[in-house]
């Protein structure tokens, strides 16, 4: 059944591809982005042109995940225009590349503010409506880096781990109000997104210089990532958008907690399986096994 979907960080990359894919599949899509009238004006136009040419129910709404006021305003617009909000795709994020020590605490705090606290702000804006309706889906764009922990991305990996834990803990609670949770975990992509081109680097250049003996390793990081792909494999981020579209087409109550879209064969699915079994056994032993199931309730 077509749903009303809010996607954060939809100016480029996976968010943009997902907006196009979901709208094409018949959903009402609100693709959100920061500063659509300024910095992202060109992305706004391209997305709206795409929707107009195909007569899709595709809209753009301004949303800065670093502002609770902005998140509240975006959700208010959606509810005012569509009357409901069924799904939030938490996609907005930023990347830091460099030596961990050379990032200040303030640098890392800013990254967590985008990648983890941004999720909390949007959830606080959307969940009151979903709880009242006793239905909805929170779909998080996680990362396989949370499992494999690649080098030279320390603050980013930490922020994605925090976001992953927040998503899981939230799932226990909102599931009791009929709200499903899915964490889609993309592997690395070296093309098709602005993640690496727009990445931030260390601000403490003196400390970064102290690690200069490792500079050659950092310089070949992208090449090292590309070497993980088998010959002939096309690691296209559109595959993530297609998986999101597939998941949201599933009947309510059947969506998976996790889905991995990885072209590097990193073994993340197996790790996820073991971790889920241990977590479910632990929660059940605590006497909270019911929190592992989504309750489908009618208002």
pLDDT single digits (tens) 103-146: 999 999 999 999 999 999 999 999 999 999 999 999 999 999 99
Within 10 angstroms of residue 21's Cβ, the number of other Cβ atoms is 20
CA distances from 39 to 16, 184, 197, 251 (A): 15, 28, 16, 38
Within 10 angstroms of residue 100's Cβ, the number of other Cβ atoms is 17
Inside any domain, residue 287: yes
DSSP classification of residue 252: T
Arithmetic mean of pLDDT, 275-295: 97
Cα separation, 65 vs 74, in Å, equals: 10
From the list 163, 81, 80, 175, the residue with the least C-alpha distance to 130 is 175
Question: CB–CB of 283/292 below 8 Å?
Answer: yes
Arithmetic mean of pLDDT, 200-228: 90
Question: CB–CB of 65/92 below 8 Å?
Answer: yes
Q: Which domain holds residue 236?
A: 4-292
Cα separation, 214 vs 200, in Å, equals: 18
Inside any domain, residue 298: no
Q: At 194, which helix (H) or strand (E)?
A: none
For residue 103, which phi and psi values (nearest 5 degrees)?
-95, 130
Task: Summarize pLDDT for 186-212 with one digit per residue, the tens.
Answer: 999 877 666 666 777 888 999 999 999
Q: What is the CATH number of the domain that holds 153?
A: 3.40.50.720
Provide the mean pLDDT of the chain.
94
Question: CB–CB of 70/117 below 8 Å?
Answer: no
> Number of folded domains in the chain?
1
Inside any domain, residue 260: yes
Residue 91: the pLDDT is 97
DSSP classification of residue 58: E
DSSP string computed for 107-124: HHHHHHIIIIIHHHHHHH
Inside any domain, residue 105: yes
* pTM to 2 decimal places: 0.95
Q: pLDDT-derived band of residue 299, with 50, 70 and 90 as boundaries?
A: very low
Beta-strand ranges (E) seen in the chain are 4-7, 28-33, 58-62, 87-90, 96-97, 136-141, 179-186, 200-201, 258-261
The residues near 58 (Cβ < 8 Å, ≥ 6 apart) are 19, 20, 23, 29, 31, 47, 48, 50, 51
Structure tokens at 298: 């009618």
Inside any domain, residue 297: no
CA distances from 199 to 47, 58, 95, 98, 262 (A): 23, 28, 5, 10, 21
Task: Summarize pLDDT for 146-190 with one digit per residue, the tens.
Answer: 999 999 999 999 999 999 999 999 999 999 999 999 999 999 987
Helix, strand, or coil here: 17? helix
Question: How do strand 258-261 and strand 179-186 relate by DSSP bridges?
Answer: parallel
Inside any domain, residue 199: yes
């Amino acid at each position: 059944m077509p749903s009303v979907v809010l996607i954060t960080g939809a100016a480029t990359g996976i968010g943009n591809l997902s907006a196009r894919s979901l709208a094409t599949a018949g959903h009402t899509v609100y693709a959100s982005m920061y500063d659509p009238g300024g910095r992202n004006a060109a992305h706004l136009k391209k997305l709206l042109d795409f929707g107009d040419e195909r007569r899709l129910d595709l809209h753009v709404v301004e949303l800065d995940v670093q502002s609770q006021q902005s998140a509240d305003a975006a959700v208010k617009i959606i509810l005012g225009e569509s009357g409901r909000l069924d799904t939030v795709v938490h996609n907005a994020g930023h990347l830091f590349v460099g030596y961990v020590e050379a990032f200040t605490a303030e640098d890392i705090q800013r990254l967590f503010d985008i990648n983890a606290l941004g999720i909390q702000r949007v959830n606080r804006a959307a969940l009151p409506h979903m709880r009242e309706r006793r239905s909805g889906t929170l779909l998080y764009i996680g990362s396989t880096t949370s499992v494999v922990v690649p080098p030279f991305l320390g603050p980013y990996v930490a922020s994605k781990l925090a976001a992953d834990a927040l998503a899981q803990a939230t799932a226990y609670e909102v599931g009791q109000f009929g709200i499903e949770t899915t964490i889609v975990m993309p592997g690395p992509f070296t093309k098709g997104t602005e993640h690496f081109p727009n990445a931030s680097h260390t601000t403490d250049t003196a400390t970064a210089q102290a690690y200069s003996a490792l500079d050659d390793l950092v310089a070949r990081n992208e090449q090292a990532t590309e070497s993980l792909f088998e010959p002939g494999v096309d690691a296209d981020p559109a595959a993530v958008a297609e998986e999101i579209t597939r998941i949201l087409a599933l009947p309510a109550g059947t969506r998976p907690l996790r889905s991995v879209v990885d072209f590097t064969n990193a073994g993340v699915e197996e790790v996820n399986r073991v971790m889920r079994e241990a977590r479910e056994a632990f929660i059940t032993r605590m006497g909270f096994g019911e929190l592992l199931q989504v309750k489908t309730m009618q208002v």
